[in-house]
Amino acid sequence: MTSQKNDKNVRRDWYKLDLSAIVYPTLQRKDFSSVYRLSVVLKEPIQPDILQKAADIALKRFPTYKAAIRKGLFWRYLEPNTRPGPFVQPDIKNPCMPMPFKANNHYLIRIYYHQCRIALEAHHSLGDGTGGMCVLQTITAVYLRLLGHDISCGGFVLDVNEEPDPEELEDAYIRYANAKVRPPRPGEKTYRVRGTKEPFYTLNIIDGVMSVKEVAAVAAKYNATITEYLNACLLHALLQKQENEWHLKLRPVKLAMPVNLRRFFPSKTLRNFITMVYPSIDPRLGEYTFEEIITQVHYYMRYYINNKFLRGDITTNAATQQNPFIRVVPLFIKDFVVRSFYTKVQDKNSSAGLTNMGSIKVPENMKPFIERFDIYMGQPFSSRTNCAIASFEDILTINFASSIKEADVERLFFCKLVKDGIHVKIESNRET
């Protein structure tokens, strides 16, 4: 493989996977891919032929998304994909299904439509939710323009007539992996939700739709932000779930929460640029009231989510990749070591996943056409639930995805919100 100089007007013909993306292909199984889903609900039914034209136009602006993954001797990388597609298709009941690298003409994205909804599914090797949101909103903006509407660029909507900024394509982790200390990783096993595994190709979705103002008012009563309040609600639900089960001993309850590093380190990258923090409660220390849970979450966020700790975390993550010995180890050995570590250590380090993209911004002249946004973290690696949160105007959506039949955690979570006076509309793809 060859590359050209990183000039603003010259695109490289391959891209090394970023620091986070290296892990995701390693975890690939026949029944699992690291796939997330973003969707926008418009106020008029989607016209598939127009959406296909919009996708063809917009994706030329995103070379790291219009790409295929390839395997070298030491590393995987992305190369431009000039095959036909990706083709828009009717939506399916169970989203975020496994994404074989050679299927779908080697594309690592899918574009779906259903009634008024446009959905984008992307393999995490390409980028995180911020990059995916740029792709989704840009496709949506082009779609609306093709229908005759005047839609501006700005924010997540990029100009499809411009060449990509080199910074959009960078591995931003490497630029900021320069702390003088590498913080150690906590490795204690946490409480794991047990349940009846669903059949292959089944993903259970439960959505809660509510008012941003109502949630903000309740969070304010606890002197917390919306994110802190919802984190505490999920920890509270997991604690209740553990208490209601038979167990030999209690274990800590911990959330895996992605942090968007662009908030702390300037970067325009559309690739992965997140790290994980782990708010937790240890019931072995005693029984916690909800107020105590929310207080602990509040101070955890203040202590860990700042540029000092996050820079140290980036440096720890980058140290392995930058090790000269590791760089020359064959890929199949790297895969074996990473997969073993993730399965035996990393995956056992959290009880559930939770991400909050916050308030999603769109150009002003695009707002009248949009009802809401939904986000799904996708299929969990093991039997647990993942929770994703996003808001648009006064509509806040909380989207759970799990691969087990039992929905105890989701039920306990939403019951807490209702008990606090929040009106919640529940939607699901479940039969009952």
Query: Are residues 248 and 389 both part of a single domain?
Result: yes
Query: Are residues 69 and 153 both part of a single domain?
Result: yes
Q: Do the strands 35-42 and 117-123 form a parallel or antiparallel pair, or are they unpaired?
A: antiparallel
- Residue 199 counted as domain residue: no
Query: pLDDT tens digits for the chain (432 residues)?
Result: 334 444 444 455 789 999 999 999 999 988 889 999 999 999 999 999 999 999 999 999 999 999 999 998 888 999 999 999 999 999 999 999 999 999 999 999 999 999 999 999 999 999 999 999 999 999 999 999 999 999 999 999 999 999 999 999 999 999 999 888 887 776 778 999 888 988 888 899 999 999 999 999 999 999 999 999 999 999 999 999 999 988 888 999 999 999 999 999 999 999 999 999 999 999 999 999 999 999 999 999 999 999 999 999 999 888 877 777 677 788 888 888 888 877 777 778 899 999 999 999 999 999 999 999 999 998 888 878 999 999 999 999 999 999 999 999 999 999 999 999 999 999 999 876
Show the tokens assigned to 26: 């390693």
Query: Are residues 298 and 364 both part of a single domain?
Result: yes
Query: Are residues 215 and 314 both part of a single domain?
Result: yes
Question: Cα–chain-centroid distance for residue 380?
Answer: 11
Sheet holding 15-16, edge to edge: 15-16, 76-80, 67-71
Query: Are residues 128 and 229 both part of a single domain?
Result: no
Q: CATH number of the domain at 62, please.
A: 3.30.559.10
Q: Which residues pair with 112 in a beta bridge?
A: 89, 119
- Residue 62 counted as domain residue: yes
Query: Are residues 356 and 260 both part of a single domain?
Result: yes
Of 108, 135, 161, the residue that ends a domain is 161
Query: Are residues 143 and 218 both part of a single domain?
Result: no
- Residue 179 counted as domain residue: no
Query: Are residues 231 and 125 both part of a single domain?
Result: no
- Residue 172 counted as domain residue: no
Show the tokens assigned to 158: 């990029």
Query: Are residues 219 and 355 both part of a single domain?
Result: yes
Number of domains making up the chain: 2
Query: Are residues 153 and 211 both part of a single domain?
Result: no
- Residue 197 counted as domain residue: no
- Residue 192 counted as domain residue: no
Q: Which residues pair with 208 in a beta bridge?
A: 398, 426
- Residue 3 counted as domain residue: no
- Residue 183 counted as domain residue: no
Check: CB of residue 331 under 8 Å from CB of residue 75.
yes
Query: Are residues 366 and 260 both part of a single domain?
Result: yes
DSSP type of residue 404: B
Query: Are residues 155 and 303 both part of a single domain?
Result: no
Give the pTM: 0.93
Instruction: Supply the range of the domain harboring residue 117.
Output: 15-161
